Chain A
Amino acid sequence: QKEVEQNSGPLSVPEGAIASLNCTYSDRGSQSFFWYRQYSGKSPELIMFIYSNGDKEDGRFTAQLNKASQYVSLLIRDSQPSDSATYLCAVRTGGSYIPTFGRGTSLIVHP
C-alpha cells in the first residue's frame, strides 16, 4: 500500500517567516512529487513539482527532495497571510499515472 504522510497541522507562522511543510512517502519506487495549494472551498492548485534529488526554486517557493530518506518538503519564504491554505503533497510511482495524495497540512500565516 502506497502511503503519503503529512502532518495535518495547523502550522502557524508569522508573516515574513519561512514556512516548512513536510511530506514522507513509503514507496521507494516513487519518481514524481507534486505540491498543491488548496484554499478553503476551492480546488487544488499546482504550485510545484520535482523529480530529482535536491532543491527546486520558483519565486518564494522551494521544493526539496531526498529520495534516500523518502521525504519531500516545501519551503515558503517571506510567508504572507494569502499563503494560508491547505498544502497537499502528491507522489507518483514510476509507470503509474495515478498519484497518491497526502491528506494535507493546514498553514496559517498570521499578521
Chain B
Amino acid sequence: GAGVSQSPSNKVTEKGKDVELRCDPISGHTALYWYRQSLGQGLEFLIYFQGNSAPDKSGLPSDRFSAERTGGSVSTLTIQRTQQEDSAVYLCASSPEQGDQPQHFGDGTRLSIL
C-alpha cells in the first residue's frame, strides 16, 4: 500500500481481556517497529523486526506483550490480560533495510482499557 496501515484505529476493551493490534508496513520495507505513546508523553520503543525476526525486543514492558511478523510483512502486537496502564496509542513504523532511511509511521491504534 501507499503507507503504513494499522488496525483497528480504536479499540476499547475490558481489563483482563487480550487484544491484537495489526500493522501492514509499506510494501518492500523490511524493517518494522512498534512504539507506544501515552497521552502527552514521548514515543516508547517496544520492538523492532528485520524481516520475520526480532533482533531487539528490549522495549516490551512485560511478558504480557508479544509480537510476531509473518512473511516479512504484516505484524501483530498482542497484549494479554490487559491492564489500565496499557491504555495508550500504539504506533507502527516501517523503513527500508538498505541505507539509512527514515521511518514512516502509521496512524496508530488508540487502545482504551476500561
Contacts and interface: CB of A to CB of B under 8 A. Distances in A.
Interface stretch (B14-22, B71-79, B80-88, B97-105): B97-105
B91 interface: yes
Chain B's interface size range is: 20 to 34
A31 B91 contact: no
Contact of A32 (B43, B91, B100, B107): B100
A43 to B, nearest CB: 4
Interface string A22-55: 0000000001101010000011111001010000
Interface residues of A, number: 21
Interface of B: 31, 33, 41-43, 45, 48, 50, 56, 89, 91, 95, 100, 102-108
Given A44-B43, A46-B102, 11 more contacts: A34-B102, A34-B103, A42-B107, A43-B106, A44-B105, A49-B102, A92-B100, A97-B31, A97-B48, A98-B48, A104-B42
